[in-house]
Chains A and B, each alone.
Chain A
């Protein structure tokens, strides 16, 4: 009987771990929603940070994340295309693929330090461009890996059919292969966008933060996440409430983008 009892114990413990995991998710989401919703006022969205709102922070965070995507998505996709369509099977492609995988897990704070050395220090101060570069560096490896994986799922026959029609290589890639992998790549782009929009560490000393509304990327640039970090540590109640409101909104944005991404994959299947 001993082994049957042991079996029960282990299965019970495994189930318990799953319950604990889910428990934490609900605990975090519940406290976040409660604190967030009770701290949100209409003025939270209409005022800038200087007047107790997050309007400029939302605009700033989205501006930086979108600009970073505008750089990272084409570069990452082109790199992924090279790895899968041109360099496939070559030694060079496999080295690059591995390096890009390593880049994907590089500590984000180190990327912040690197960008500080290149784009903040020499230019005399924090600026929005530096924040964009830092986010783009975080995003590129994720896009490369998604593109690479999604292109690998496209059947070779499609490429051969394109060739049989006399299509040139880059036309086959763009008009047949990438199109076939469109859904997967879009999902990857959405998920990586969700990841960088919630990043704080790479922005701390690149874009830093700004209390005022600005679209001037040569200045310190407003950031939602950096503001949360600052606000949470202030002793006054109002700052703390604003930090909760901002955290709640950030989480809603990130989880929504994630769910949309997942939904897109499911529909395809």
Chain B
């Protein structure tokens, strides 16, 4: 008797993830209906975000936050990928155990720091540096992109390291015995062997960067305009939601749900690609 109950309860719990995913999609889709009917596909390419004076309607387009999200993510990835690969290589091929272990722990602790701390730190310590060296106001695309990079590097490095570590020792040793340098072993043995895991880690980090809210909220400037230069402030989907979602009404609110739906679907596609195509079931994010 107890066994049956136990089994059924565990089965119900297991189906929860499924219902949550479907539920999130269904709720966002339903609440986004008004904006979808009003703007359709043009929503993606409309720059304006203006409520009418009576607060009932207006023109709302997702172009600015979508571009802001893409650009800040692009900057972050451009910085994070080479650095994370470097760290992963350092941990698997260069560092001795005595150095590698503490560095590994430090990198993992860096990944555990809450994103709001990165935001605080970025705003008060990093933004002024960007301002004095590159120009601009301090807050803007570049600052957001760099701090976002610092946030995703540990995550990317840890998964890539795990992937590189799966390379069989025999393969590496054979290459070394042939007189290959460390770099040649990395390039011709380790990289090809762990390609799937490395690409997976990059895509997974990309998904994180797209959905990151707090670090970017402090740093991107939260201005509804297309950035003219790399130091200009703009906004992103998560930041717009974080700052304006709760106060929005009617059509504006529905447009916010529309943006949330776009973000959710895009992340879903990116994460699934990384997980099923490149990572299999071996690595966890």
CB distance from B206 to the nearest CB of A (A): 11
Check if A194 is an interface residue, CB within 8 A of chain B.
yes
Check if A137 is an interface residue, CB within 8 A of chain B.
yes
The complex places the Cα of A168 from the Cα of B107 at a distance, in Å, of: 44
CB distance from B253 to the nearest CB of A (A): 9
Check if B41 is an interface residue, CB within 8 A of chain A.
no
Flag the segment in A41-49, A51-59, A211-219, A254-262 that touches B: A254-262
Within 8 A of B (CB), among A76-132: 76, 78-79, 81-83, 85-87, 93, 95-114, 116-118
Check if B264 is an interface residue, CB within 8 A of chain A.
yes
Mask: chain A, 143-173; 1 = CB below 8 Å from B; 0 = not: 0110001000000000000000000111101
Using a CB–CB cutoff of 8 Å, the interface residues on chain B facing chain A are 2-3, 6-7, 9-11, 13-18, 20-21, 23-24, 27-28, 31, 82-87, 89-91, 93-95, 103, 105-110, 112-121, 123-125, 150, 153-154, 157, 181-184, 186, 204, 207-208, 210-214, 217-218, 238, 241-242, 245-246, 256-257, 260, 263-264, 267-268, 271-272, 275-276, 281, 284-285
The complex places the Cα of A205 from the Cα of B120 at a distance, in Å, of: 20
Contact B183 A11 (CB under 8 A): yes
Contact B115 A113 (CB under 8 A): no
Contact B116 A200 (CB under 8 A): yes
> Given A79-B14, A117-B27, does the pair A106, B110 have CB atoms closer than 8 Å?
no
B271 contact set on A, CB distance < 8 A: 101-102, 105-106
- Residues of A contacting B: mostly: helix
- Residues of B contacting A: mostly: helix
The complex places the Cα of A90 from the Cα of B246 at a distance, in Å, of: 42
Contact A113 B256 (CB under 8 A): yes
Contact B211 A110 (CB under 8 A): yes
B284 contact set on A, CB distance < 8 A: 101, 104, 145, 149
A244 contact set on B, CB distance < 8 A: 120
Using a CB–CB cutoff of 8 Å, the interface residues on chain A facing chain B are 3-4, 6-7, 10-11, 13-18, 20-22, 24-25, 27-28, 31-32, 35, 74-76, 78-79, 81-83, 85-87, 93, 95-114, 116-118, 137, 140-141, 144-145, 149, 168-171, 173-174, 191, 194-195, 198-201, 204-205, 208, 225, 228-229, 232, 243-244, 247, 250-251, 254-255, 258-259, 262
Contact A102 B275 (CB under 8 A): yes
The complex places the Cα of A13 from the Cα of B86 at a distance, in Å, of: 7
Q: Which of B90, B125, B181, B213 contacts A108 (CB 8 A)?
A: B213
Contact B241 A113 (CB under 8 A): yes
Contact B106 A200 (CB under 8 A): no
Contact A113 B106 (CB under 8 A): no
Contact A20 B11 (CB under 8 A): no
Contact A21 B83 (CB under 8 A): yes
> Given A21-B154, A111-B24, A204-B246, does the pair A78, B10 have CB atoms closer than 8 Å?
yes
CB distance from A87 to the nearest CB of B (A): 7
The complex places the Cα of A225 from the Cα of B120 at a distance, in Å, of: 11
Given contacts A21-B106, A32-B121, A170-B6, 9 further A-B contacts (CB under 8 A): A14-B89, A14-B94, A17-B85, A32-B117, A79-B17, A100-B17, A107-B211, A169-B7, A200-B115
CB distance from B262 to the nearest CB of A (A): 10
CB distance from B165 to the nearest CB of A (A): 15
> Given A102-B271, A106-B264, A170-B6, does the pair A114, B23 have CB atoms closer than 8 Å?
yes
Contact A107 B17 (CB under 8 A): no
> Given A114-B23, A250-B117, does the pair A78, B268 have CB atoms closer than 8 Å?
no
A14 contact set on B, CB distance < 8 A: 85-87, 89-90, 93-94
Contact B21 A102 (CB under 8 A): yes
Q: Which of B2, B86, B110, B238 contacts A17 (CB 8 A)?
A: B86
The complex places the Cα of A99 from the Cα of B268 at a distance, in Å, of: 10
Q: Which of A208, A225, A229, A255 has most chain B Cβ within 10 Å?
A: A229
> Given A109-B211, A114-B27, does the pair A86, B10 have CB atoms closer than 8 Å?
yes
Contact A28 B276 (CB under 8 A): no
Residue of A whose beta carbon sits closest to that of B112: A258
Q: Which of B83, B113, B256 has most chain A Cβ within 10 Å?
A: B113
